[in-house]
Structure 1
Amino acid sequence: MESTNAVFQKDFVEKLLPQKFPFVMVDKLYSYTETALVSGLKIENDNLFFHEGNFVESGLIEHMAQSVALHTGYQFYLKQEPAPTGYIGSIKDVVIKKMPKLNDEIQTTVTILQEFGGITLVDIVTKLNDVEIAKGQMKTVLAK
């Protein structure tokens, strides 16, 4: 099983995502295994989803989705293959308890629950200072 605990920063992380600036909502890769990933994002005032002092709900959900995409992107990077484009199939049970503010650094853990035929079900938990601020489940589908 391939695993890493190194922290990868913005420039490398952006290469693994289909999204491009200014729509990138993940800037760190803290850890990766075949079944999990921990990503991060520092909230900056030039972020598209930063509004009136807060990172807004849609930004948090996009960050969660891009964390899932980062898992796929890194998986394919390790195989030295181009990552396929993926789509959100569904989002459910999303609970947002608190919105991050300017300069906050959020960390998101993606856990693969099931993977079959290009469809992946994941559990996602986002924390700020080790306190859970958001969670949910997503089903993603890889384009063929």
Structure 2
Amino acid sequence: METTVLLEKEAVGNLLPQKFPFVMVDRMFSYSETSLVAGLKIQNDNIFLEENTFLEAGLIEHMAQSVALHTGYQFFLKNEIAPTGYIGSIKDIEIKKLPKINDTIQSNITILQEFGGITLVDIVTFLNNEEIASGQMKTVLAK
């Protein structure tokens, strides 16, 4: 797992359209034009916690927000305001294990295709170097 944090909670929050309590990414470990590694420490105030377990919906939202962070950071680097994005489709999501309270998860996103505001990404989420979820998402930027 990545250990160097490029952006902390507040900076990450400024790049996401979601606001507390709906933010599911609190750090960025690495960024390139075609990839990003994002993380989340699951706190006791997380809205997707149930009996100290982070729910499937939270994992999927974390994956989606990791993609949103890539877009937000891309626009930030160009000194532009990022447009709002939407999930166009979710495909082949596999959840193997649910993290618990105080766990830190990490998602690696890889841009497979990008054209006309539509981005196809591959996402793999890890907990302590163990793959716990994976899938593909297509995101669409609002015009």
After TM superposition, the score normalised by the length of structure 1 is: 0.96
| Alpha-carbon offset, residue 7 of structure 1 | 2.4
Percent of aligned pairs with the same amino acid? 73
What SS does the aligned partner of 1:101 have?
Answer: coil
Structure 1 residues 42 and 6: CA distance shift in structure 2, 3 A? closer
| Separation in structure 2 between the aligned mates of residue 80 and residue 42 of structure 1, nearest angstrom | 28
1:29 is matched with 28
| Separation in structure 2 between the aligned mates of residue 126 and residue 46 of structure 1, nearest angstrom | 21
Given residue 66 of structure 2, which amino acid in structure 1 is its aligned partner?
Answer: S
2:134 is matched with 135
RMSD: 0.8
1:1-144 equivalences in 2 (<5 Å)? 6-144=5-143
Runs of 4+ in 1 over 6 A off after TM superposition: none
Number of equivalences = 140
Query: Can you list the C-alpha shifts for 1:11-49, whole angstroms capped at 9, x where unaligned?
Result: 000000000111000000000000000000001110000
| Separation in structure 2 between the aligned mates of residue 31 and residue 6 of structure 1, nearest angstrom | 8
Contiguous gaps of at least 5 residues in structure 1: none
What SS does the aligned partner of 1:65 have?
Answer: helix
| Separation in structure 1 between the aligned mates of residue 19 and residue 5 of structure 2, nearest angstrom | 23
What SS does the aligned partner of 1:11 have?
Answer: helix
Given residue 31 of structure 2, which amino acid in structure 1 is its aligned partner?
Answer: Y
Structure 1 residues 6 and 103: CA distance shift in structure 2, 3 A? closer
| Alpha-carbon offset, residue 118 of structure 1 | 0.3
| Alpha-carbon offset, residue 131 of structure 1 | 0.6
Cα pair 2:85 2:142 within 8 Å, conserved: yes
| Separation in structure 2 between the aligned mates of residue 69 and residue 119 of structure 1, nearest angstrom | 12
| Alpha-carbon offset, residue 6 of structure 1 | 4.7
| Alpha-carbon offset, residue 53 of structure 1 | 1.6
Contiguous gaps of at least 5 residues in structure 2: none
